[in-house]
Amino acid sequence: MLTVRNLSVRFGDVLALEDFSFDVGPGQVVGIVGSNGAGKTTTLSAISGLVARHEGSVTFDGEAIDRLTAHAIVERGLIHVPEGRRLFPFMTVQENLELGAYPRAARAKREQQLDFVFSLLPKLKERRGQQAVTLSGGEQQMCAIGRGLMSCPRLLLLDEPTLGLAPLLVEEVFALVRSIRETGVPVLIVEQQVVHALQSADHAYVLESGACVMRGEGHALLANDALRRAYLGV
Amino acid sequence: MTTATRRSILPMLAGAAAATSVLSRPSFAQEGPIKIGGIFPLTGAGSVFGNQNFQGVEIAVDLINDRGGINGRKVVLFKGDGHTPQAAISETNRLLAREGVRIFTGSSTSAVGMVASQEAERNGAFYWEGMAVANDFTARGFKNVFRVGLDAGGLGRPAPLYVAEALAGLLKKSSKDIRIAIIAEDSAFGVDVSSTAVAEAKKLGIAVALHELYSAKTTDLSPLVLKLRSVKPDAIVATQFINDAVLLQRQMKEMRYRPPAFIGTSAGHSTLSFAEAIGDDVNGIFSSSYPNDANPDGLLPETRSDREEFLKRYQAKYKVVPAVQESLGFVVGMALIRDIIGKAMGADTAGLRDAALAADVPAGSYINGWGMKFDEKGQNLRAFGSMVQWQSRRMVSVYPAANKMADPILVPLPAWGAR
Amino acid sequence: MDIYVQLALSGLFVGGIYALISVGLTLVFGVLRVVNFAHGEYLTLAMFLTFFLFHQLGLDPFVASLIVVPILFVLGLITERLLIRRTLEAPHVVQVFVTFALSLFLQNLFLVLFTSDFRTVRTDYATAAFEIGPFYISWLRLIAFAASIALTVALALFLKHSYMGAAIRATAQDRRSARLVGIDVDRIYALTFAIGCALVGAAAVLLAPLYPVNPYTGADLILVAFVAVVLGGMGSIAGATLAGLLIGVIESFSSYFLGGEMKQFVYFIVFMAILSLRPVGFFGRKGAEVMDVT
């Protein structure tokens, strides 16, 4: 469904990502793990069109989307939920969610999708009239994912959804990821929470200094000694 | 301002450098044309009056050249665009250095006149002012700077004088019972002119019920109108620029307030755009002004022919009837070229200065009725302001006697829309 | 007592126009994060357009608005495309130079094209007024006020209740997220800049019958708008409106009670006092000016 081949991104003289290839198939959860600065966010930004210049190819549903602008990529159902939530701070929860339905295709299904998001995330329904800036970190993250779901995604990119959240909330986020997958929407998730991510992922890739150093099934990687030493300290 | 600064620095430096080299040469060629530099705002904010003044001077130059020049020498007028004080400095220096000009005239606004005359004085050149009215202009101890035109008092005094001598009677009051409101915009122009008006009124025993300043950039003068309404003056004496002059008339009309008499001042009220903006409501409004026109009976015979020449030439060249500022420019040019340069023993700065101090030209020698005699500071004592009145949307001189072309009408002012 | 009411009315009427000029400026700042120093020159341009339509074609200013406002909108689109867009990623100082240079360029262009003469749109109804009890109310000023407020309210409703409006607000609050929900941010910039210009065009049409225009008119008026924008909170439309009205009223009272030459002094005192108590202005948010660096 998403095919990335030989993706490289350069910021000035710095090679932020080098020759990265991976796939996301229908119904899959794919994880990209690695420490800070490994190139995870860069990867997502290149796919969603926020970083315009890159080498290699990105194909979504058989269409090359390399040269499309960010909003054109959104129109095709590839939805990027950014790191750090990045809600519209001075809008209400409901307004944030409704803006998720900005793409033409999603607008028609706005009410229906809103009910769906509220059923999945009942907390947001309680907070619908509240300004986003007043929400707690966990609520903000739920709202950000909810906004992504409002766009009727055909593939959801989640960038560090658990960043700065308490352990209990981390569990909640991954439970949500699993329920999203159950609705048939594949998820590409970028995480520093290596254990959780690998547990949930069908396939996973480990990035280090812009290069992919390991790949495999989530559970298999979790059992890998080298990975355990590097990321789990055991 | 910033453009001007940026634009001026380079030519200024170049000018300054060149000026030093020129000064070391033996001064003043006795052969070739007589060069005069005209420093006026020809573009930018003050350019309306600047161009009108310049055109008047130019007509004087043309006339004198057609009559054979000065001692057989042609007169050449160089243009210097002093659209800001900085530009005036660089243009003065440019003409000094590049063209060898040693005689300057200007300037339409006090800000420009002050600096252009200073540059001329500093370089030992001769400077001849027309329209700048700032009181300080002649208070700087300069030797070679003369003002043939009015100072602020010259514009400020006619209003109270006219109230005392003519308006009080027409309003059926004695000058002791009459009360006036003096209002002015708050730049040097308004402040200087209005304070002489206040002083003159006090001297004449006229009560000043209100003396108020405001910014000419304002968009709403209704608080001032409310104040005037509560003060109920017999006459308003206003020193304004054009936009605030128009605004005040409109807002007085909106608020149905009408003073028995309204006396404006030169800049805002003696221009056609004022009449265009308020239409027939302009009729009956007075304006203290440079003389617009002199009564030909009061002019010397040769001045009468100058006047006809001027009117004919100006209309042929610009297709409009010349007004106050154009005729002032002509007077400035005639006085300088014919009566100073033409009479000077040597045409160097010292000779011109001597000629100016010796000048004793009787009133009625210039087309606006003026004569010329300078005090030791360089102010022409035979320049006087006059009172014009808008009648049938034309300016008509009503005061003093030498300039009077018609009797005043519409006193007290009829209702708005009935003038 | 009457005098207070009359002064308040005069102040509000002028304040309404200040508000309309300020709203366009604050909207452009809020969304593009660019302070448009040439905003005043668009006002001047629109007043000249109104004048020439009136003078050459005999079009009443209110009819002319149907031409002037769309022209300003299109000029806004063009300016954004050719000039502003290229500076959006540049440092603030570059943006200041660009819009300031544009302001000087336009001023000098107007001087060359129109000279520095004051032009007046003289309509029959320019000084029409009516009385309510002891109060005198100018029709034109009342209409200008009502139209200014109506346009400001319409803008607020548009921003609050339409998809496009929500997209504009979203872009103001977070450019990057706006892109990620599918908003064509470049288009929003162009549209917002054009709306800002159209609003100032509307203000010009309302001002033209009241006030003579020359190449410096906009530059003179825009100072008040800058004060209103900062006082209201940079980027806040409600704030700019409130501040515009407040400045009008302060001017009116201070020129009556303290004298006309005092009014700028008084509102700058109020300006400094309010900002020292509340540095972000009425409705500003702390750090709003750096909220969404991408």
Residues A22 and A70 reside in one and the same domain: yes
The CATH number of whichever domain residue B245 belongs to comes to 3.40.50.2300
The torsion region of residue B322 among left (phi > 0), alpha (psi -120 to 50) and beta comes to: beta
In this structure, which long-range contacts are made by residues B167-170, counting pairs with CB atoms below 8 Å and at least 24 apart in sequence? B167/B234, B167/B235, B167/B261, B167/B408, B167/B411, B168/B234, B170/B408, B170/B411, B170/B412
Chains touching C by CB (3 or more pairs below 8 Å): A, B
Beta pairing partners, B397: B388
Which residues of B are less than 8 Å from C10 in CB distance? Answer: 220, 222-223
Residues B140 and B6 reside in one and the same domain: yes
* Cα(B184)–Cα(C203) distance, integer angstroms: 28
Range among A85-94, B93-102, C44-53, C124-133 rated most confident: C44-53
- In one letter, which amino acid is A126? E
CA distances from A114 to A93, A98, B144, C169 (A): 11, 8, 86, 20
Q: What is the pLDDT of residue C286?
A: 62
Using CB atoms, pick whichever of B48, B212, B247 lies closest to residue C259.
B212
Residues B274 and B205 reside in one and the same domain: yes
* Cα(B4)–Cα(C18) distance, integer angstroms: 29
- The domain containing residue A127 runs over which residues? 86-153
CA distances from A207 to A29, A31, B121 (A): 17, 11, 79
Q: What is the pLDDT of residues C211-228, one digit of tens each?
A: 889 888 999 889 899 999
Residues A59 and A158 reside in one and the same domain: yes
What whole-number percentage of chain B has pLDDT above 70?
A: 92
Report which of A39, A38, A44 is spatially closest to residue A4, judged by C-alpha positions.
A44
Beta pairing partners, B27: none
In Å, how far is B20's CA from the nearest CA of chain C? 33
Q: Which two tokens stand for residue B86?
A: 């900085």
Q: What is the pLDDT of residue B2?
A: 41
Chain A CB within 8 Å of residue C291 CB:
yes
Q: If you compute the radius of gyration of chain C from its CA atoms, what whole number of angstroms results? A: 19
B417 lies in some domain = no
Q: Which two tokens stand for residue A148?
A: 């992504």
- Sheet strands side by side (includes B75-81): B75-81, B34-40, B103-106, B126-129, B145-147
- Three-state SS string across chain A, please? CEEEEEEEEEECCEEEEEEEEEEECCCCEEEEECCCCCCHHHHHHHHHCCCCCCEEEEEECCEECCCCCHHHHHHCCEEEECCCCCCCCCCEHHHHHHHHCCCHHHHCCHHHHHHHHHHHCHHHHHCCCCEHHHCCHHHHHHHHHHHHHHCCCCEEEEECCCCCCCHHHHHHHHHHHHHHHHCCCCEEEEECCHHHHHHHCCEEEEEECCEEEEEEEHHHHHCCHHHHHHHHCC
Residues B207 and B269 reside in one and the same domain: yes
In Å, how far is B217's CA from the nearest CA of chain C? 6
Residues A193 and A227 reside in one and the same domain: yes
Residues B83 and B103 reside in one and the same domain: yes
Report which of B278, B306, B408 is spatially closest to residue B365, judged by C-alpha positions.
B306
Q: State how far Cα C140 lies from the chain centre.
A: 18
Mark yes or no for CB contact A69/C184 under 8 Å.
yes
Chain B CB within 8 Å of residue C250 CB:
no
Q: Which of B1-15, B162-176, C154-168 has the lowest mean pLDDT?
A: B1-15
Q: Which two tokens stand for residue C11?
A: 């102040």
What whole-number percentage of chain C has pLDDT above 70?
A: 97
Report which of A231, A180, A233 is spatially closest to residue A35, judged by C-alpha positions.
A231
Count structural domains, chain A.
2
Predicted confidence band at A153 (pLDDT cuts at 50, 70, 90)?
Answer: very high
Count structural domains, chain B.
2
Among chain C residues, CA nearest to A70? C179
Chains touching B by CB (3 or more pairs below 8 Å): C
Q: What is the pLDDT of residue B345?
A: 65
Which residues of C are less than 8 Å from B217 in CB distance? Answer: 220-221
A112 lies in some domain = yes
A/B Cβ contact: 3+ pairs below 8 Å:
no
Report which of B167, B230, B205, B128 is spatially closest to residue B399, judged by C-alpha positions.
B167
Q: What is the pLDDT of residues B126-136, one digit of tens each?
A: 999 988 888 88
In this structure, which long-range contacts are made by residues C98-103, counting pairs with CB atoms below 8 Å and at least 24 apart in sequence? C99/C34, C99/C35, C99/C36, C99/C37, C99/C38, C100/C37, C100/C38, C102/C37, C102/C38, C102/C41, C103/C37, C103/C38, C103/C40, C103/C41, C103/C219
Q: Which two tokens stand for residue B216?
A: 């000419």
End-to-end Cα distance, chain A: 36
Which residues of B are less than 8 Å from C16 in CB distance? Answer: none
A65 lies in some domain = yes
pLDDT at residue B4 above 80? no
What average pLDDT does this structure show over A159-180? Answer: 90
User: What's the sign of the alpha-carbon dihedral B133, B135, B141, B147?
Assistant: positive
Mark yes or no for CB contact C251/B220 under 8 Å.
yes
Residues B210 and B308 reside in one and the same domain: no
Residues A32 and A67 reside in one and the same domain: yes
pLDDT at residue A194 above 70? yes
Higher pLDDT, B268 or C290: B268
A170 lies in some domain = no
pLDDT at residue B10 above 70? no
What average pLDDT does this structure show over C153-157? Answer: 93
B255 lies in some domain = yes
User: What's the sign of the alpha-carbon dihedral C88, C89, C92, C97?
Assistant: negative
Chain A CB within 8 Å of residue C238 CB:
no
Residues A27 and A95 reside in one and the same domain: no
In Å, how far is C73's CA from the nearest CA of chain A? 24
Q: What is the pLDDT of residues B213-253, one digit of tens each?
A: 988 888 888 889 989 998 999 999 999 988 889 999 999 99
Q: Which two tokens stand for residue C263?
A: 């009014």
- pTM (predicted TM-score): 0.82
Mark yes or no for CB contact C177/A91 under 8 Å.
no
Chain B CB within 8 Å of residue C111 CB:
yes
B416 lies in some domain = no
Chain B CB within 8 Å of residue C260 CB:
yes
Residues B128 and B170 reside in one and the same domain: no
In Å, how far is C160's CA from the nearest CA of chain A? 10
Which residues of B are less than 8 Å from C211 in CB distance? Answer: 219, 243, 247
A175 lies in some domain = no
B419 lies in some domain = no
Mean of all residue pLDDT scores within chain C: 88
Residues A132 and A191 reside in one and the same domain: no
> In this structure, are strands B207-214 and B179-185 parallel, antiparallel, or unpaired?
parallel
Higher pLDDT, B96 or B10: B96
CA distances from B394 to B292, B319, C119 (A): 11, 17, 19
Mean of all residue pLDDT scores within chain A: 90
SS3 at position B367: coil
- In one letter, which amino acid is B145? V
Mark yes or no for CB contact C17/B277 under 8 Å.
no
Report which DSSP code applies to B379.
B
- The domain containing residue B197 runs over which residues? 154-289+386-403
The CATH number of whichever domain residue A203 belongs to comes to 3.40.50.300
Q: What is the pLDDT of residues B19-69, one digit of tens each?
A: 444 443 334 445 688 899 999 998 876 778 888 899 999 999 999 999 888
A95 lies in some domain = yes
Chain B CB within 8 Å of residue C116 CB:
yes
Chain B CB within 8 Å of residue C123 CB:
no
B374 lies in some domain = no
| Beta-carbon pairs below 8 A across chains A and C | 68
Q: What is the pLDDT of residue B276?
A: 85
Beta strands in B276-354 (DSSP E): 286-289
In Å, how far is C180's CA from the nearest CA of chain B? 43
Q: What is the pLDDT of residues C44-66, one digit of tens each?
A: 999 999 999 999 999 999 999 99
Residues A190 and A200 reside in one and the same domain: yes
Which residues of C are less than 8 Å from B219 in CB distance? Answer: 14, 17, 207, 210-211, 221
Q: What are phi and psi of C162, to 5 degrees?
A: -110, 160
* Cα(B12)–Cα(B90) distance, integer angstroms: 5
Among chain C residues, CA nearest to B253? C127
Report which of B354, B359, B405 is spatially closest to residue B381, judged by C-alpha positions.
B359
Chains touching A by CB (3 or more pairs below 8 Å): C
Q: What is the pLDDT of residues A204-218, one digit of tens each?
A: 999 988 899 889 988
Q: What are phi and psi of A91, to 5 degrees?
A: -120, 160
Asked if residue C67 lies in contact with residue C59, where contact means CB atoms within 8 angstroms, the answer is: yes
* Cα(C292)–Cα(C294) distance, integer angstroms: 6
Mark yes or no for CB contact C184/A81 under 8 Å.
no
* Cα(C23)–Cα(A117) distance, integer angstroms: 36
Which helix (DSSP H) or strand (DSSP E) does residue B128 occupy? strand B126-129
What average pLDDT does this structure show over C106-110? Answer: 91
Using CB atoms, pick whichever of B45, B255, B256 lies closest to residue C116.
B45
* Cα(B16)–Cα(B24) distance, integer angstroms: 13
Q: Which two tokens stand for residue C187?
A: 């288009």
In Å, how far is A228's CA from the nearest CA of chain C? 34
pLDDT at residue A44 above 70? yes
End-to-end Cα distance, chain C: 54
Which residues of B are less than 8 Å from C252 in CB distance? Answer: 220, 222-223
* Cα(B160)–Cα(B197) distance, integer angstroms: 6
pLDDT at residue A190 above 90? yes
Q: What is the pLDDT of residue B168?
A: 86
Asked if residue A199 lies in contact with residue A218, where contact means CB atoms within 8 angstroms, the answer is: yes
pLDDT at residue A147 above 90? yes
Using CB atoms, pick whichever of A49, A82, A99 lies closest to residue C170.
A99
Q: What is the pLDDT of residue B273?
A: 81
pLDDT at residue B5 above 80? no
Q: What is the pLDDT of residue B31?
A: 67
* CB contact set of B333 (below 8 Å; sequence gap of 6+): B56, B57, B58, B59, B60, B61, B64, B105
Vertex B155 angle, CA B154 and B156, to 5°: 95
Report which DSSP code applies to B179.
E
Residues A160 and A66 reside in one and the same domain: yes
Residues A25 and A136 reside in one and the same domain: no
User: What's the sign of the alpha-carbon dihedral A39, A43, A46, A50?
Assistant: negative
Higher pLDDT, B268 or B6: B268
CATH hierarchy code of domain C2-114+136-290: 1.10.3470
Chain A CB within 8 Å of residue C160 CB:
no
Q: What is the pLDDT of residue B152?
A: 86
* Cα(A65)–Cα(A48) distance, integer angstroms: 9
Higher pLDDT, A118 or B164: A118
pLDDT at residue C196 above 90? yes
Mark yes or no for CB contact C220/B226 under 8 Å.
no
Residues A106 and A90 reside in one and the same domain: yes
* CB contact set of A86 (below 8 Å; sequence gap of 6+): A144, C174, C176, C177, C180
A14 lies in some domain = yes
Q: What are phi and psi of C29, to 5 degrees?
A: -65, -45
Residues B220 and B334 reside in one and the same domain: no
Residues B315 and B353 reside in one and the same domain: yes
In Å, how far is C29's CA from the nearest CA of chain A? 17
CA distances from B169 to B264, B399, B412, C265 (A): 19, 15, 11, 41
Residues A90 and A110 reside in one and the same domain: yes
Report which of A89, A218, B96 is spatially closest to residue C172, judged by C-alpha positions.
A89
Q: Which two tokens stand for residue C155?
A: 């803008």
Residues A36 and A100 reside in one and the same domain: no
Burial label, A195 (beta-carbon count in 10 A; 0-12, 13-18, 19+): middle
Give me the torsion for CA of B273, B276, B281, B286, rounded to 10°.
30
- In one letter, which amino acid is B126? F
A2 lies in some domain = yes
Using CB atoms, pick whichever of A86, A89, A100 lies closest to residue C176.
A86
Residues B225 and B308 reside in one and the same domain: no
